[in-house]
Chain A
Amino acid sequence: GDSVTQMEGPVTLSEEAFLTINCTYTATGYPSLFWYVQYPGEGLQLLLKATKADDKGSNKGFEATYRKETTSFHLEKGSVQVSDSAVYFCALTNYGGSQGNLIFGKGTKLSVKP
């Protein structure tokens, strides 16, 4: 079945460091790919998404490019801030299955130190 694998954390960085969180997927058809973020004490929020190959999603300085050839959707940010500390989830939905059924990775906890 469809699945998402993302790098395990926790990841600890200093402020202004470069961030990469790796995400790869297995899916039939043409899934849409998402990054969700969960800040402490809050619900999951959509960070960015990409719906077809070579699309780049971006938001709040974060970027991820849908790479079909490597089945990847790695999350990057050039300069992290303390306020970026959160848990990040990579997810996919495949129109071949239930519409909008999100399949999530296990999450990566990011801690940014001042």
Chain B
Amino acid sequence: EAGVAQSPRYKIIEKRQSVAFWCNPISGHATLYWYQQILGQGPKLLIQFQNNGVVDDSQLPKDRFSAERLKGVDSTLKIQPAKLEDSAVYLCASSPGSLGGTFSEAFFGQGTRLTVV
């Protein structure tokens, strides 16, 4: 079974530039998550999708971050404009569960390491 695919693996941009990350979840997984992991900290949820609808985006800085999951499969996360404090690893994860069902496990991609200079 193919895992969660993310690209690019690494990205270096200057502050105020824009950047986009792509995620392809495990086939058939209804739930998709984007997490931000700052160096030395645990991952923090940015946004959660159930199929192509947003379940939770309460911690997404909406003035600069946006995400979409067209057709309930692939997802993109965009930052515009980037700030120095956005330097982090952006992790995509998916799980097969549905709302009201039993959460079993989230499967993570390798992440995209973003450096803002």
Contacts and interface: CB of A to CB of B under 8 A. Distances in A.
Interface of A: 4, 32, 36, 41-46, 49, 89, 91, 93, 95, 97-107
B43 interface: yes
B42 A89 contact: yes
Given A43-B110, A107-B42, A99 B91 contact: no
A53 to B, nearest CB: 17
Interface residues of B, number: 30
A100 B102 CA distance: 9
Given A49-B105, A98-B55, A104 B110 contact: no
B103 to A, nearest CB: 4
Contacts of A32: 103
Given A43-B3, A107-B41, 10 more contacts: A41-B110, A44-B91, A44-B93, A45-B108, A89-B42, A100-B31, A101-B48, A102-B33, A103-B45, A106-B40
Contacts of B103: 32, 93, 95, 99-100
B42 A46 contact: no
A98 to B, nearest CB: 4
Of B55, B93, B108, B111, most A-chain CB atoms within 10 Å:
B108
Contacts of B31: 99-100
Nearest to A8: B40
Contacts, number: 66
A41 to B, nearest CB: 8
A101 B56 contact: yes
Interface in B1-20: 3-4
Interface in B43-75: 43-45, 48, 55-56
Q: Which 3 A-B pairs have the closest CB atoms?
A: A104-B42, A44-B108, A98-B56
A8 B103 CA distance: 28
B106 A105 contact: no
Contacts of A107: 40-42
20 contacts: A32-B103, A41-B110, A43-B91, A43-B109, A44-B91, A44-B108, A45-B108, A46-B107, A49-B105, A97-B56, A98-B48, A98-B56, A99-B31, A99-B55, A99-B99, A100-B97, A103-B45, A104-B43, A106-B41, A106-B42
